[in-house]
Amino acid sequence: MQEAFPDWRGDHPYLVSLAGPDPKGHDVKMVAMSPAQVLALDATHRVLAVTGTISDDAGNPAGSHAEPGNLGAYWFELRGGRWFVTHRRDSILWQGSNGEVGTVKQADLGPRRRALIVESGWCGQGYCVVGLDVLEIGSDAASLVLADAALSSESLGVAEGCKEMLEGAKDLAPATSQALTPDNCFDIGGKWRIAPRADSDRGDVVIDFDGQELVEDPATHAKSVHNVAESVVFRYSGDGYKQSDGRNPNHTV
């Protein structure tokens, strides 16, 4: 961090003013920078990924529910035993909620294909959703190759009795059972992985899902619980990942 931000001392947030997430707007956001990941591109090149939380002038979190957080990246080269910054990208992605970007991980898409994986989401009115973004990190740039793929969705805080219904309860009060619908009772989780491909230098992004959702027979209107167990596959094509197989069972809220 100190090589990228010489004034940073490690005992207080490092504040930076950035253009906001709306590319057509003119708002400026104050963000508190924190180190997130260090990617090794090769023996002499590294990339530092930093998260930026929307903050006040003292570095205290100040993002509203609807505001995303920021992800930035800084490229380094080893020269004479010291790391030097070669490229700076204060903002490569705005994502998340409450002024925070979410969870940042790193992965290999394939040989010499490094990536940052961002899991971010929001909760509101009893619903919670999480999305997945994949940024391929090159020698001097970051490319968003998969944007906001639905990773998980749940509505356990929306309607009374939903959790019990999904767990198999049979003794719910009639009024409670009647209030539950496929739109307000589901709990689906997803885990991503990179599946290598012999014929490509980029593997597939695969999301495996499990969970439960309430379904209703269109003819009889009888309600039952459906166990979710399926996968969706995204394959690299052209300039990014496109869905190539499977289905994403997450609910749009």
pLDDT (tens digit per residue) in 196-231: 999 999 999 999 999 999 999 999 989 999 999 999
With a cut of 90, say whether residue 38 has pLDDT above it.
Answer: yes
- The reported pTM is 0.94
Q: What is the pLDDT of residue 105?
A: 98
- Strands 28-42, 223-237: pairing is unpaired
- Strands 186-195, 28-42: pairing is unpaired
User: pLDDT tens across 110-122, in order?
Assistant: 998 999 999 999 9
Report the C-alpha gap between 74 and 58 in whole angstroms. 24
- Which of 48, 51, 47 lies closest to 34 in space, CA to CA? 51
Mean of pLDDT values over 38-42: 96
User: pLDDT tens across 163-186, in order?
Assistant: 999 999 988 999 999 999 999 999
With a cut of 90, say whether residue 6 has pLDDT above it.
Answer: no
With a cut of 80, say whether residue 20 has pLDDT above it.
Answer: yes
Which positions ≥6 away from 227 have C-beta within 8 Å? 210, 211, 212
Q: Cα 117–119–123 angle (5° rounding)?
A: 170
Q: Is the dihedral of CA 21, 26, 32, 33 positive or negative?
A: positive
With a cut of 80, say whether residue 103 has pLDDT above it.
Answer: yes
* DSSP code of residue 58: T
With a cut of 90, say whether residue 126 has pLDDT above it.
Answer: yes
Point out the least confidently predicted range of 121-135, 147-161, 168-182. 168-182
- Which of 148, 137, 248 lies closest to 202 in space, CA to CA? 137
pLDDT higher at 234 or 12: 234
Q: Are 152 and 228 in contact (CB under 8 A)?
A: no
Mean pLDDT score of the chain: 94
> CB neighbours (10 Å) of residue 100?
20
Which positions ≥6 away from 63 have C-beta within 8 Å? 53, 54, 55, 69, 97, 98, 99, 100
Report the C-alpha gap between 201 and 180 in whole angstroms. 46
Q: What is the pLDDT of residue 8?
A: 73
With a cut of 80, say whether residue 123 has pLDDT above it.
Answer: yes
Residue that is written with structure tokens 């739109």 in the block: 183
